Protein backbone atom coordinates (compact mmCIF):
# COMPACT_ATOMS: atom_id res chain seq x y z
CA UNK A 1 0.00 0.00 0.00
CA UNK A 2 1.31 3.45 -0.86
CA UNK A 3 0.67 6.16 1.68
CA UNK A 4 0.70 9.60 0.14
CA UNK A 5 1.31 12.26 2.75
CA UNK A 6 -0.21 15.61 1.85
CA UNK A 7 1.71 18.70 2.77
CA UNK A 8 -0.02 20.81 5.41
CA UNK A 9 0.25 24.56 5.83
CA UNK A 10 -0.02 26.21 9.23
CA UNK A 11 -0.28 30.00 9.47
CA UNK A 12 0.62 31.67 12.76
CA UNK A 13 -1.12 35.02 12.75
CA UNK A 14 -2.93 37.63 14.81
CA UNK A 15 -3.72 41.27 14.11
CA UNK A 16 -1.52 42.27 17.03
CA UNK A 17 2.20 42.57 17.68
CA UNK A 18 4.44 40.92 20.23
CA UNK A 19 2.19 38.06 21.31
CA UNK A 20 4.39 35.12 20.32
CA UNK A 21 3.88 34.48 16.58
CA UNK A 22 7.58 34.11 15.86
CA UNK A 23 8.29 32.11 19.03
CA UNK A 24 5.43 29.72 18.24
CA UNK A 25 6.53 29.39 14.59
CA UNK A 26 10.16 28.68 15.43
CA UNK A 27 9.34 26.16 18.19
CA UNK A 28 6.75 24.32 16.12
CA UNK A 29 9.05 24.16 13.10
CA UNK A 30 11.92 22.85 15.20
CA UNK A 31 9.77 20.29 17.03
CA UNK A 32 8.37 18.99 13.74
CA UNK A 33 11.86 18.81 12.19
CA UNK A 34 13.12 16.98 15.30
CA UNK A 35 10.25 14.51 14.90
CA UNK A 36 11.53 13.72 11.42
CA UNK A 37 9.26 15.85 9.29
CA UNK A 38 10.47 17.81 6.31
CA UNK A 39 9.66 21.36 7.41
CA UNK A 40 9.75 24.76 5.76
CA UNK A 41 9.33 27.87 7.89
CA UNK A 42 8.27 30.82 5.76
CA UNK A 43 8.87 34.24 7.29
CA UNK A 44 6.50 36.88 5.86
CA UNK A 45 7.39 39.58 8.40
CA UNK A 46 9.73 42.27 7.05
CA UNK A 47 11.47 42.27 10.48
CA UNK A 48 12.72 38.82 9.32
CA UNK A 49 13.15 37.59 12.89
CA UNK A 50 12.46 33.97 11.94
CA UNK A 51 14.68 34.15 8.89
CA UNK A 52 17.56 35.65 10.92
CA UNK A 53 17.07 32.96 13.58
CA UNK A 54 17.21 30.30 10.85
CA UNK A 55 20.51 31.71 9.58
CA UNK A 56 22.01 31.79 13.10
CA UNK A 57 20.76 28.30 13.84
CA UNK A 58 22.17 26.89 10.62
CA UNK A 59 25.60 28.19 11.62
CA UNK A 60 25.51 27.04 15.25
CA UNK A 61 23.26 24.03 15.66
CA UNK A 62 25.40 20.97 16.40
CA UNK A 63 22.45 18.59 16.12
CA UNK A 64 21.46 19.61 12.61
CA UNK A 65 17.76 19.59 13.46
CA UNK A 66 16.89 22.26 11.01
CA UNK A 67 13.70 23.51 9.55
CA UNK A 68 14.55 25.29 6.31
CA UNK A 69 13.74 28.99 6.87
CA UNK A 70 13.02 31.41 4.04
CA UNK A 71 11.65 34.92 3.74
CA UNK A 72 8.79 35.43 1.33
CA UNK A 73 6.25 38.04 0.28
CA UNK A 74 2.56 37.60 -0.48
CA UNK A 75 3.22 37.66 -4.23
CA UNK A 76 5.82 34.86 -3.95
CA UNK A 77 3.85 32.75 -1.48
CA UNK A 78 2.00 30.56 -4.04
CA UNK A 79 5.23 29.72 -5.83
CA UNK A 80 7.05 28.97 -2.54
CA UNK A 81 4.21 26.63 -1.55
CA UNK A 82 4.30 24.89 -4.93
CA UNK A 83 8.08 24.52 -4.69
CA UNK A 84 7.77 23.04 -1.18
CA UNK A 85 5.12 20.57 -2.39
CA UNK A 86 7.31 19.46 -5.29
CA UNK A 87 10.29 19.09 -2.94
CA UNK A 88 8.37 16.65 -0.73
CA UNK A 89 7.85 19.01 2.18
CA UNK A 90 5.52 17.68 4.93
CA UNK A 91 4.77 20.90 6.74
CA UNK A 92 4.95 24.60 5.94
CA UNK A 93 4.70 27.01 8.88
CA UNK A 94 4.13 30.67 8.08
CA UNK A 95 5.20 33.40 10.49
CA UNK A 96 3.33 36.63 9.75
CA UNK A 97 3.78 40.36 10.47
CA UNK A 98 2.01 42.15 13.32
CA UNK A 99 -1.26 43.83 12.40
CA UNK A 100 -3.46 43.35 9.37
CA UNK A 101 -1.31 43.16 6.26
CA UNK A 102 -1.44 41.67 2.75
CA UNK A 103 1.06 39.09 4.02
CA UNK A 104 -1.08 37.91 6.93
CA UNK A 105 -4.21 37.77 4.75
CA UNK A 106 -2.34 35.70 2.12
CA UNK A 107 -0.99 33.36 4.82
CA UNK A 108 -4.43 32.83 6.37
CA UNK A 109 -5.95 32.15 2.94
CA UNK A 110 -3.25 29.60 2.06
CA UNK A 111 -3.38 27.76 5.38
CA UNK A 112 -5.00 24.44 6.31
CA UNK A 113 -4.75 25.47 9.95
CA UNK A 114 -4.59 28.91 11.54
CA UNK A 115 -2.89 29.28 14.92
CA UNK A 116 -3.65 32.50 16.79
CA UNK A 117 -1.37 33.07 19.77
CA UNK A 118 -2.87 35.28 22.48
CA UNK A 119 -1.76 36.71 25.78
CA UNK A 120 -4.00 35.14 28.39
CA UNK A 121 -4.61 38.35 30.35
CA UNK A 122 -4.89 40.74 27.40
CA UNK A 123 -8.37 41.58 26.11
CA UNK A 124 -6.86 43.21 22.97
CA UNK A 125 -5.52 39.79 21.97
CA UNK A 126 -8.96 38.22 22.21
CA UNK A 127 -10.57 41.13 20.35
CA UNK A 128 -8.11 40.52 17.49
CA UNK A 129 -9.12 36.85 17.01
CA UNK A 130 -12.21 37.38 14.80
CA UNK A 131 -10.43 39.96 12.66
CA UNK A 132 -7.56 37.55 12.07
CA UNK A 133 -9.67 34.47 11.47
CA UNK A 134 -12.10 36.15 9.10
CA UNK A 135 -11.03 34.80 5.76
CA UNK A 136 -11.56 37.39 3.02
CA UNK A 137 -12.08 34.69 0.39
CA UNK A 138 -15.28 33.44 1.97
CA UNK A 139 -16.35 36.42 4.05
CA UNK A 140 -18.11 39.23 2.26
CA UNK A 141 -19.97 42.09 3.95
CA UNK A 142 -23.66 41.22 4.10
CA UNK A 143 -26.54 43.67 3.88
CA UNK A 144 -27.21 43.09 7.58
CA UNK A 145 -23.61 44.08 8.46
CA UNK A 146 -24.21 47.55 7.10
CA UNK A 147 -27.47 48.09 8.99
Ligand X SMILES: Nc1ncnc2c1ncn2[C@@H]1O[C@H](COP(=O)(O)OP(=O)(O)OP(=O)(O)O)[C@@H](O)[C@H]1O
Q: Quick one: angle between helices 77-86 and 102-110, nearest 10?
A: 30
19 binds, among ligand X, Mg ion, none (CB under 5 to 8 A by kind): ligand X
101 binds, among Mg ion, ligand X, none (CB under 5 to 8 A by kind): none
Closest to ligand X by CB, 9 vs 125, is 125
Nearest CA to 97 out of 71, 121, 134 is that of 71
Closest to Mg ion by CB, 38 vs 49, is 49
Cα 28 to the chain's mean position, in Å? Answer: 10
- For the CB of residue 76, give the shortest distance to ligand X in the complex, in Å: 19
Counting Cα atoms < 13 Å in the Cβ hemisphere of 135 gives 11
Closest to ligand X by CB, 44 vs 81, is 44
Nearest CA to 100 out of 31, 44, 32 is that of 44
Please report, as ranges, the residues that interact with Mg ion according to CB under 5 A.
Answer: 21-22, 49
Nearest CA to 16 out of 138, 136, 130, 113 is that of 130
- For the CB of residue 117, give the shortest distance to Mg ion in the complex, in Å: 10
- For the CB of residue 22, give the shortest distance to Mg ion in the complex, in Å: 3
Closest to ligand X by CB, 112 vs 122, is 122
- For the CB of residue 21, give the shortest distance to ligand X in the complex, in Å: 4
Closest to Mg ion by CB, 19 vs 89, is 19
Nearest CA to 25 out of 7, 47, 43 is that of 43
- For the CB of residue 69, give the shortest distance to ligand X in the complex, in Å: 14
Please report, as ranges, the residues that interact with ligand X according to CB under 6 A.
Answer: 17-23, 45, 47, 98
Q: Is the dihedral of CA 22, 24, 29, 34 positive or negative?
A: positive
Amino acid sequence: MTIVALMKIVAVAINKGGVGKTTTSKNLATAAAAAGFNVLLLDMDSQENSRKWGTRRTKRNPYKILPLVKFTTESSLPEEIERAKNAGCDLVIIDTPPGRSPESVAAVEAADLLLIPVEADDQDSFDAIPKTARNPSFWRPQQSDAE
